[in-house]
Amino acid sequence: MKTTSVSLLLGVSVLLLMSGLTVSAVSLNVSANLQQFFTRGPPVSLSCVEDGQTVDGWTVKTTRGGQIEECGAAGSDFGRLDGSSCVLDVSTKFSTDHWCESSSGQRSDQVTITVTDKDLILEIPALPVLTGSNVTLSCRNRNGDKVKAYFYKNGKVTEDKLQRVQQSDEGLYSCFTDEDGKSPQSRLRVRDPPPTSDPHITTASTTTTVYAATSFNVNNNNTDASASFSFTVPLVAALGSLVLLILVVAGLVQLCRKQTEMKDSSSPVDVTYADVNIRQPAIKREQPPDPDVLYSSVRAGIRR
């Protein structure tokens, strides 16, 4: 029983550890780092990057009608390949998740890309932003002009400038104007920056710090942000694997203790047997008076 339980725990821990280590540092890079686009606008370019560089052996995928489709695959009208990039036609509206995937099944985080036929879009980062950074949201109409608008988070009015972003700032954002109506909703994702204690990640953490201190600007190519986030993924996976390993070891120690206690409690107690002689004390009985005996009083007299 003990061997079976230990083997089962070790097997589960190995599987979980391996699954945690398959989290990829590759991320999906979207042109202009945006999530929303107008129909009949310029094509949208997607690419798989790691540390700001395009990687080979990865493909861009999406889900449409419950089916997973690969960019540029035969028989699919999802995108066309242009070198290492996947170019999307935005002639018709859609809103679907996209990600990068390797031949071994590793995946990047998903990015929801929305193409709308409305007259207003929200400009919001496609890649996760780091905690402590500043994010400025903006609203743009079909003429390409940024317009003054009301901004909403999860249906409630909010500000367009998000200072020192925290996890609580995650949510669905949109914008609204009296003239052009309401934009689609898109999700803002927030991630913690990686720790800087490891000397091997000094360079990457420096890039992350620079990105975290910079406000979101949709006119710039945010490849540095992609590199920063792509480094965060394997680090989080490694930390999660370490915590999992500690929990497994603690569980094994606890299991061994419990089984040892059970074994000790079920072992027979030594019993010593011996012959014991018990002697009953003699019972004393009172004798009844003899009926033939005559008792009388005798008084002794004194002669003079």
What DSSP line would sit under 120-176, residue for residue?
A: EEEE-BSSPEETT--EE-EEEETTS-EE--EEEETTEEE-SEE-S--GGG-EEEEEE
Beta-bridged to residue 129, according to DSSP, are: 190
Average pLDDT of the residues in 214-237:
46
Q: 6: burial class by Cβ within 10 Å (0-12, 13-18, 19+)? A: middle
Sorted by where each begins, the domain ranges of the chain are 2-245
pTM (predicted TM-score): 0.58
Strands 129-130 and 190-191: parallel
Q: Using the predicted structure, report yes or no on whether residue 237 has a pLDDT greater than 70.
A: no
pLDDT tens readout for residues 246-256: 887 788 878 87
Cα–Cα separations (whole angstroms), residue 6 to 2, 42, 249, 261: 6, 58, 10, 16
Is there a contact between 5 and 29 (Cβ–Cβ < 8 Å)? no
pLDDT tens readout for residues 55-86: 989 999 999 888 999 999 988 889 999 998 99
DSSP letter at 33 equals G
Average pLDDT of the residues in 134-147:
96
Higher local confidence (pLDDT), 217 or 189 = 189
Q: Which CATH architecture has domain 2-245?
A: Sandwich (2.60)
27: pLDDT confidence band, cut at 50, 70 and 90?
A: confident
Matching residue, tokens 């391996």: 18
Q: What is the DSSP string of 63-106?
A: EETTEEEETT-TT--S-EEETTEEEEP-SS-EEEEEEEEETT--
155: its two tokens? 């249906």
Q: 11: burial class by Cβ within 10 Å (0-12, 13-18, 19+)? A: exposed
221: pLDDT confidence band, cut at 50, 70 and 90?
A: very low
Instruction: Let me know the angle formed at the C-alpha of 212 by 211 and 217, rounded to the nearest 5 degrees.
Output: 60
Helix (H, G, I), strand (E, B) or coil at 235: helix
Instruction: Let me know the angle formed at the C-alpha of 230 by 224 and 234, rounded to the nearest 5 degrees.
Output: 150
Choose the weakest-confidence range: 33-37, 48-52, 149-153. 48-52
